């Protein structure tokens, strides 16, 4: 069933009530966001959780993994030995990691607090399943995230990935490491990057990260590499002088899964009247949408409708998914053999709003439609490499065959983006 959820979470033991003894209430926003992540994992019927921890044994090359039939740990080092865990390891995924990533290093040890804190909230929410624990890669974390993410995505079971890590430890003079101006600066860049453009996160200089004394930057990059998604920052605070950020990095959607299933039916010549349409009421509405196909992270096709032209969104998605695979003039038609390598996202368009100038656009929030003498071009929001309004409008003009110097009418719109 594949990788269905990715979260980025902190790991302060003090937010566990048996340890905090009331002090945990100072980090109430973090606790509520953590509970939301854990509840999502339960609601999505996740079978297994892979946790990446900066406090597991770390290696200069590759990454470590905790081996054994079961993994144990408790909070005795934090005064709460009664809060303990004894969980079965998913040997199938561990075997694939050993086989596909030879630089992965086995270690035998107990669970660290970077793993125990996320597990505590998941167990409190009612989750019970198997785990795999990795040490945070010190080098190439995003590339390793992509490799491990693909292994989970090819699994027959449902997986969640939790990247564990605190941000700067230098937010306050009375914090554990004192104060440094790079602390809040790094945390602000990361929070802004997750909300607007992850390229900002990747561009943080090493010396700035070192000055900030963070411990979760590479865990975050691992999560970002594992699978593309619509990122939501659920909370950020630094009540004890340490930055705690909770974010949903990826959530699979039955709407995008339906688009992928439409492609499967098309390429296997199955009758569409046998295709099961998800129960989401949104699919019964009339809305324009775009279906985007990617292969190995690169665009493989994208076709859509600005305004609805079919009886409902389900029909709109089906037609646009097939068109994206077979009629995008920029690419050769997708072949049936490529389908297992194709990932699908669906953008459902909101209402078009006519605007008077560039100052009313934001390429991270709004898509744009440009019109000139019957020519129409559209560009979706939140596209990698499109960082300015000028770039956004220029590309939309190119798509419409409008010259750069020609004046255009402008419309903006917001989207709901869903990933399979």
The yes-or-no verdict on residue 1 having pLDDT over 80 is: no
Average pLDDT in the chain: 95
Contacts for 148 with CB less than 8 Å, ≥ 6 apart: 50, 97, 101, 134, 161, 222, 226
Question: For residue 385, what pLDDT band results from cuts at 50, 70 and 90?
Answer: confident
Question: For residue 228, what pLDDT band results from cuts at 50, 70 and 90?
Answer: confident
Mean pLDDT of all residues in 206-225: 97
The yes-or-no verdict on residue 378 having pLDDT over 70 is: yes
Place of tokens 């596209």: 383
Mean pLDDT of all residues in 237-243: 96
- Tell me, what's the pLDDT at 297? 82
Q: Can you tell me the distance from the alpha carbon of 343 to that of 331, in angstroms, rounded to the nearest whole number?
A: 16
Residues 399-412: pLDDT tens digits? 999 999 999 999 99
- Tell me, what's the pLDDT at 296? 84
Query: DSSP letter at 1?
Result: -
Mean pLDDT of all residues in 366-395: 92
Question: For residue 175, what pLDDT band results from cuts at 50, 70 and 90?
Answer: confident
Residues 61-117: pLDDT tens digits? 999 999 999 999 999 999 999 999 999 999 999 999 999 999 999 999 999 999 999
Q: Domains plus CATH for the chain? A: 2-251 (3.40.830.10), 254-419 (3.30.1490.150)
Contacts for 51 with CB less than 8 Å, ≥ 6 apart: 114, 115, 118, 119, 131, 132, 133, 134, 161, 162, 163, 164
- Tell me, what's the pLDDT at 273? 87
Structure tokens at 173: 């003079």
Q: Rounded to two decimals, what is the model's pTM?
A: 0.89
Mean pLDDT of all residues in 128-152: 97
């Amino acid at each position: 069933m594949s990788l269905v959820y990715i979260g980025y979470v902190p790991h302060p033991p003090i937010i566990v009530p048996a340890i905090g003894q009331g002090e945990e209430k100072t980090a109430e926003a973090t606790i509520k966001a953590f509970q939301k992540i854990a509840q999502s994992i339960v609601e999505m019927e996740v079978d297994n959780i892979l946790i990446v921890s900066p406090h597991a044994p770390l290696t200069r090359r590759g990454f470590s993994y905790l081996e054994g039939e079961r993994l144990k740990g408790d909070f005795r080092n934090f005064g709460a030995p009664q809060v303990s865990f004894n969980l079965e390891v998913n040997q199938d995924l561990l075997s694939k990691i050993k086989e596909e990533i030879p630089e992965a290093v086995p270690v035998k040890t107990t669970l660290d607090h970077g793993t125990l804190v996320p597990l505590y909230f998941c167990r409190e929410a009612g989750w019970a399943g198997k785990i795999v624990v990795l040490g945070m890669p010190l080098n190439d974390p995003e590339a390793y995230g992509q490799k491990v993410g693909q292994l989970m995505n090819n699994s027959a079971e449902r997986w969640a990935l939790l990247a564990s890590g605190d941000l700067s430890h230098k937010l306050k003079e009375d914090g554990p490491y004192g104060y440094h101006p790079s602390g809040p600066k790094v945390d602000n860049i990361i929070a802004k990057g997750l909300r607007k453009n992850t390229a900002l996160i990747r561009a943080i200089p090493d010396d700035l990260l070192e000055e900030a004394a963070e411990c979760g930057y590479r865990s975050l990059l691992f999560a970002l590499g594992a699978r593309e998604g619509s990122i939501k920052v659920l909370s950020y605070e630094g009540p004890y002088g340490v930055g705690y950020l909770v974010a949903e990095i990826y959530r699979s959607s039955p709407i995008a899964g339906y688009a992928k299933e439409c492609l499967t039916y098309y390429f296997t010549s199955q009758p569409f009247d046998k295709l099961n349409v998800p129960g989401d009421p949104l699919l019964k509405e009339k809305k324009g949408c775009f279906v985007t196909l990617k292969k190995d992270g690169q665009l493989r096709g994208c076709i859509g409708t600005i305004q609805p032209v079919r009886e409902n969104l389900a029909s709109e998605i089906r037609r646009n998914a097939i068109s994206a695979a077979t009629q995008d003039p920029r690419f050769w038609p997708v072949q049936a053999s490529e389908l297992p390598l194709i990932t699908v996202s669906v953008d459902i368009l909101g209402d078009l709003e006519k605007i008077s100038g560039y100052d009313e656009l934001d390429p991270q929030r709004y898509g744009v439609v440009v019109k000139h003498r019957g020519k129409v071009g559209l560009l979706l929001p939140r596209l990698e490499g499109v960082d300015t309004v000028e770039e956004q409008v220029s590309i939309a003009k190119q798509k419409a065959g409008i010259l750069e110097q020609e004046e255009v009418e402008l419309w903006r719109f917001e989207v709901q983006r869903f990933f399979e």
